[in-house]
């Protein structure tokens, strides 16, 4: 474990599905309060937002994508700027994935063997090779506070036999990543997380948790979920897996982060989440609210003088009307994507803060039920009524 990395578990609360946890992760670039949602900055940028805006929405940590940054601009160049923090002007913690998910999703353009994976760039078709040792070098150059091992993420559906072979490779690569990481002296400044795989097969997930748990990583990712399997399978696998991971180390559910997923998976012992969903749907005109997603392009919002959500303290809601944001999106103004993204990421930060407080107050189980009952409703009249009350309170018609 890096000298600048520490996880302190502050509280566990029993739920019907496991235990919800509150903690804090200390890194060289600051402390992260968990549970936490991490915005994704694929190419050293959370699309359309500046670092100041990310701080404003409450982002504690962001992600960079090793695959994309390796191809463009290149990890050597990023290293010239002092790593990602200096390159992108972000002074808070950063996590980089290993690029494994992107590579393994390119089924027609990659070839896997026990030593690594050879793939063709989506940019220009050039051929490249990732090995555990090479990925560690790239992630060390990128300089994130938390980095991930190279693993094999299998598709859904895929057979037990296929996943058994892939899991053996994932475990061997994890050992090689850890060895290369330690030999390079990077463990003093970066925390390397292992990744539990095994698809939807409980026996493979148990095996992976046991093997990787024995390697003494400072934290653990859970990969290979939310790749097409039913939500019920994801929940079942988490209930099987999280109790087997070391209690006093953070658990990171990779690539999962819709609002309902945050609540459901915290109830199953997850501490960290990331997902492109909030910013991706924002660019496509969907705003996250307590009552579900609001389609900003709908003509019903053209005359709305209140904000997207009356109780939201984000820059978009405190400065602009829903009617104006509707106009921006229909006119394809660039400000629309920025404001929508600000709102959605602030929504995610607020939900995580509420979850954390509810665990501390022993009210999380009630919070979960109430949140899901309201968020999943398809009736948006409650949200419309809230805006009517807000406008009346502020003297607007």
Q: Let me know if 366 is a catalytic residue.
A: no
Gap between the Cα atoms of 182 and 178, Å rounded? 6
**DSSP secondary-structure letter at 306?**
S
Q: Among 145, 151, 274, 291, which one carries the catalytic annotation?
A: 274
What is the rounded CA–CA span in Å between residue 397 and residue 392?
7
Q: Which of these is catalytic: 97, 145, 271, 291?
A: 97
In whole angstroms, give the CA distance from residue 195 to residue 165. 16
Q: What share of the chain is helix, strand, coil (3-state, %, to 5)?
A: 45, 20, 35
Paired strand residues for 30: 27
DSSP 8-state symbol, 294:
E
341/335 Cα distance (integer angstroms): 10
**Which strand (E) or helix (H) includes residue 119?**
strand 116-120
Clarify whether 97 is annotated catalytic.
Answer: yes
Q: Within 10 Å of residue 198's Cβ, how many Cβ atoms?
A: 27
Closest Cα to residue 265, out of 165, 345, 371? 371
The residue among 209, 144, 124, 202 whose CA lies nearest residue 174 is 209
- Copy the structure tokens of residue 367: 């919070």
The set of catalytic residues is 97, 274
């Amino acid at each position: 474990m890096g000298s600048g990395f520490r996880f302190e578990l502050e509280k566990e609360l029993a739920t019907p599905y496991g235990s919800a946890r509150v903690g804090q992760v200390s890194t060289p670039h600051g402390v992260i309060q968990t549970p936490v949602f991490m915005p994704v900055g694929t190419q050293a940028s959370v699309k359309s937002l500046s670092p100041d805006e990310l701080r404003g929405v409450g982002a504690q940590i962001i992600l960079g994508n090793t695959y994309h940054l390796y191809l463009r601009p290149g990890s050597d160049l990023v290293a010239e700027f002092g790593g990602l923090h200096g390159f992108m002007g972000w002074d808070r913690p950063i996590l980089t994935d290993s690029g494994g998910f992107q590579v393994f999703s390119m089924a027609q353009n990659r070839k896997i063997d026990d030593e690594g994976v050879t793939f063709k760039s989506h940019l220009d078709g050039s051929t490249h090779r990732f090995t555990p040792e090479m990925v560690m070098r790239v992630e060390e150059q990128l300089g994130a506070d938390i980095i991930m091992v190279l693993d094999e993420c299998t598709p859904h559906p895929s057979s037990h036999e296929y996943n058994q072979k892939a899991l053996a490779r994932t475990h061997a690569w994890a050992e090689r990543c850890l060895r290369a990481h330690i030999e390079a002296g990077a463990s003093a400044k970066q925390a390397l997380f292992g990744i539990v795989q095994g698809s939807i097969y409980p026996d493979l997930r148990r095996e992976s948790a046991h093997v990787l748990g024995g390697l003494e990583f400072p934290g653990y990712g859970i990969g290979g979920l939310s790749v097409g399997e039913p939500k019920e399978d994801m929940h079942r696998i988490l209930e099987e897996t999280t109790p087997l991971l070391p209690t006093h180390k953070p658990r990171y559910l990779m690539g999962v982060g819709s609002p309902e997923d945050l609540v459901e998976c915290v109830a199953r012992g997850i501490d960290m989440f990331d997902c492109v969903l909030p910013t991706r749907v924002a660019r496509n005109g969907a705003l996250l609210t307590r009552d579900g997603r609001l389609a900003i392009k709908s003509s019903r919002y053209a005359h709305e003088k209140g904000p997207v959500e009356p109780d939201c303290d984000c820059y978009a809601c405190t400065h602009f009307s829903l009617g104006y944001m509707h106009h921006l999106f229909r006119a394809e103004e660039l400000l629309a994507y920025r404001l929508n993204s600000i709102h959605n990421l602030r929504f995610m930060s607020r939900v995580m803060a509420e979850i954390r407080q509810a665990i501390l107050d022993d009210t999380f189980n009630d919070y979960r039920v109430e949140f899901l009952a309201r968020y999943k409703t398809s009736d948006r009249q409650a949200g419309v009524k809230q805006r009517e009350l807000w406008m009346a309170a502020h003297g607007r018609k």
